[in-house]
Amino acid sequence: MNNKIQLIYNKMCYDCQFKFRNIISYVKNNREKNLNDLDLFKCKVDKTRDVLDDKNILPLALIFCRQDSYVFIWKDSIYNGDGTTKIPVINNTILLSQQTIHKIKDYNLVSNSLTTTKKQQMLVPKIIEKNNHALKQSFSRQMTLIHRQHFLHMSKMRKTIMLLSLVFILMFAAMGGFLSWYFLSGQNNSGSIINPSKQRIDLNEHLADSQLDLINDNRENSILQAAKKKNKKLDIQDLLVKNITDTNAVIYVKSSSNIYNTDSTVIVSFLPTKISLLTHVIKRNFFINTNSPNPPELLKIIKLENPKLVLDYVNIENIITVENNQIILKGNLVSQGEKSIYVSDESLELYFSNTDRKMLSNDLTEINLGDIKNYKSKTILEAVKLKNKNVLIDQVEVIPGNVVDKEAKIKVKSNSKDYYINDSYLITVEFRSFNKELGQIKEKVENDIKISDLDTAFELENNLILVSGWVENKGQGTHLFSLDGKYVTKVEDQIFNKIIKTPDNNILMGLGYSKGLFLLDSRSGKIIKKVEDNPNNPLNDKLGDIIFLHNGTILGISSEKNPTLYQLNADGTLLKQIKKYDDISYTYLYQLENGSIFLTSNLNGEEIIQLNKDYSIQKKIFLNPPGVCNAWGYSLLQSENSGIILLGGAAQTKCIYHLYSDLSLKEQTGFPNEEEMQLAIKLKSGTFLGFRKSYNGDNGVYILKNE
């Protein structure tokens, strides 16, 4: 039995192993019950099962891992008085309804007693490593205890239950920690979220050396650069710094990180040559009752509110009157000379007034907002308010950041009555805009058509969709569907891998399944003619994908290892060869609404290759190793304010990649219960339409969630 549990434990990812250990620790600290009252089972969830069939069983917790799901259940919930189970147990596996699984979440959210701390989570692996001998002794003592309990209770309890209990106590002896629950982590058994192949790790795994020694100054960027110098693997683009003092600070993780656990932090120590003024000047707006104070008077006022500030090393400059009808002054606090303890190139803007106005930074102090469903201004401001109770949301506005689904800038409105108005003063807030429902099935719209193999879809100008591939009972070729997903008719026997616009609104271009190029009528979808290549530069047997860019350029890329990128004329003939790429294959072309162009490749695992304006490679973004999703030819769907996803593909993968607007990986999700989509299209109305191929008969056309 011990070997069996060890195998189960080894299959789990780090997060799930941590949850397993914490559940044991939680039960041990439970005043009413102990480990002997708990049992563990594999769990299958049946969405069609009636909750009454579960006999009022309420599991304590559920761990959803890659391989299996596991439920922890109090024995008095699942066993009858005579030791028999209330529901069937086959191979240590039970079947539960979806409603019971939801009850786990509801029950524990109401109890509000299950928490974990970052510090304790980080200490767990260290304690284990440093106290191995003590743990072995503890294990020996627990083994003695279990053998005794086994002797006393085996006649009343089944052997399986007792062996499981042994494992629970063993895990408690070996691993400590507080509880990290399934329902608090946002994962469930619907299959809607799958952990990324590259598991997020605790920050301290890459930031092991927290003694940064001598650094130039204690500003945020200097601290992060020093941390990077000491810890080569550290990715400082995903990090922020807070609680900065003269000699230490807290480094923490941006909400948008897909590398580090967003609740992990590390305290670092350092010896700065110079100190940032922000270290000693916490309050930056002050009360005065005169419109013409002199600089020494202002410095005394600043010192009174910020006692750590050393006045001998600062000056106040550029004192101006902001409003004439009220006493509102503005000035800049700067370092005084090279011998100053403060950074020389830093300037702090300060306000002085007899009004109740204040700086936005007084109220907006927490800039890491966590997960939000979309990056609409209203949603961002709601998240700001949730993290910063004092912020007057009706007096501030949002300016999009450099990466709109990762950050935004908060600015005081020009009509604010309570904040100082300064168009150049912006506070950047960080978040992860992530909607796990994006691309999931909303409803089925076509039941009579069975999808076999589809390659491409294109919306025509006459409220029809041109879909190319194999439709059962209709044969292979190119077909018309209505905008609501209903089958209309077949228009051509030719199959196209891709259909795109051309500069001529009346003509489309299709890349034939046999690698030929065709010109099509933009209203009917019928072939006008096949493109005749220049004999000196034949393309018919080379191209694997084509794309019409926003600027009217038509590109084509060859379907081979180390492919070549071409530019085509509007009539489909070759204009010129642009570039040859190395070490990529099975390549497809995409363009985002912001103009970014990228390729996908699965030669060395699944990758996104972002291109520069000259089509050279800007960067490669790794998604998954070979065989994880194993698809190509993804459908690109982009929802306004909600995100970007790649789904479907020629292998009918269940994977969905959620991407940031800078093309970095946000999250990998998938379809529950084998509900993979082979092809999807975003219509001009914003609707996502999906075409599903399924071997269980439940295929057809679906509307997918677009927000």
The pLDDT assigned to 177 comes to 35
Residue 120's pLDDT band (cuts 50, 70, 90): very low
Query: Residue 505 sits in a domain of what CATH number?
Result: 2.130.10.10
Confidence of residue 187 (pLDDT cuts 50, 70, 90): very low
Which range is least confidently modeled, 262-266, 442-446, 505-509? 442-446
Read off the pLDDT of residues 405-431 as tens digits, 9 standing for 90 and up.
999 999 999 999 999 998 889 999 999
The answer to whether residue 77 is domain-embedded is: yes
Strand partners, 456: 468
Give the model's pLDDT for residue 77.
87
Name the domain boundary from 221, 251, 274.
Answer: 274
pLDDT at 161 (0 to 100): 46
Residue 186: inside a domain: no
Supply the pLDDT for residue 501.
95
- My answer on whether 309 and 327 are in the same domain is yes
For residues 514 and 654, membership in a common domain is answered with yes
Average pLDDT, integer, range 316-332: 85
Do residue 225 and residue 320 come from a single domain?
no
- Please indicate whether residue 311 or residue 93 has the higher confidence score (pLDDT): 311
In the three-class reduction of DSSP (H, G, I as helix; E, B as strand; rest coil), residue 623 is classed as: strand
502 and 632 fall within a common domain: yes
More confident residue, 481 or 338: 481
Q: Which of these three, 325, 355, 385, is where a domain ends?
A: 355
pLDDT for res 106: 47
Between 83-97, 98-112, 243-257, 475-489, the lowest mean confidence (pLDDT) is in 98-112
How do residues 199-211 score in pLDDT, each as one tens digit?
A: 689 999 999 999 9
Higher pLDDT, 14 or 404: 404
Question: What pLDDT does residue 454 have?
Answer: 84
Q: What is the pLDDT of residue 84?
A: 82
Residue 474: pLDDT above 80? yes
pLDDT above 60 (res 275) = yes
pLDDT at 162: 45
Asked if residue 146 has pLDDT above 50, the reply is no
Residue 147 lies in a domain: no
Instruction: Please check whether residue 195 lies inside any domain of the structure.
Output: no
Q: What is the pLDDT of residue 677?
A: 79
Among 309, 334, 355, the domain-final residue is: 355
The rounded percent of the chain whose pLDDT value lies above 70 is 78
Contact by Cβ (8 Å): 212, 230: yes
Residue 166, pLDDT > 80, answer: no
Query: Is the alpha carbon torsion for 173, 176, 182, 183 positive or negative?
Result: positive
Q: Residue 198 pLDDT more than 80?
A: no
Low-confidence winner among 153-157, 306-310, 311-315, 697-701 (lowest mean pLDDT) = 153-157
Task: Using alpha carbons, select from 362, 223, 343 the residue that is nearest to residue 278.
Answer: 343
> Residue 233, class by beta-carbon neighbours within 10 Å (0-12 exposed, 13-18 middle, 19+ buried)?
exposed
* One domain for residues 625 and 517: yes
Q: Is residue 158 a part of any domain in this protein? A: no
* 537-584: pLDDT as tens digits: 566 668 889 999 999 999 999 888 889 999 999 999 889 999 999 888
Both 525 and 391 in one domain: the answer is no
> What is the average pLDDT across 394-403?
91
Mean per-residue pLDDT of the chain: 80
pLDDT greater at residue 526 or residue 23:
526
Q: Are 345 and 428 part of one and the same domain?
A: no
pLDDT over threshold 50, residue 605: yes
Q: Do 697 and 612 lie in a common domain?
A: yes
pLDDT computed for residue 173 by the predictor: 40
Expressed as residue numbers, the domain containing 51 is: 1-106
Number of domains in the chain: 5
Q: Residue 359's closest CA among 426, 262, 436, 270?
A: 426
User: In terms of Cα–Cα distance, which of 543, 541, 538, 501 is closest to 520?
Assistant: 501
Residue 172 belongs to some domain of the structure: no
Q: Are 664 and 536 in a shared domain?
A: yes
Predicted confidence at residue 432, as pLDDT, reads: 93
Shared domain check, 300 and 265:
no
Q: What is the pLDDT of residues 632-669, one digit of tens each?
A: 678 899 998 888 988 876 554 567 889 999 888 888 88
- 581 and 673 housed in the same domain: yes
Q: Is residue 223 part of a domain?
A: yes
506 and 567 fall within a common domain: yes
Q: Give a yes or no: residue 151 inside a domain.
A: no
Closest CA to 51 of 17, 96, 15, 9: 96
pLDDT at 705: 92
Is residue 399 packed enough to be buried (19+ CB in 10 Å), middle (13-18) or exposed (0-12)?
exposed
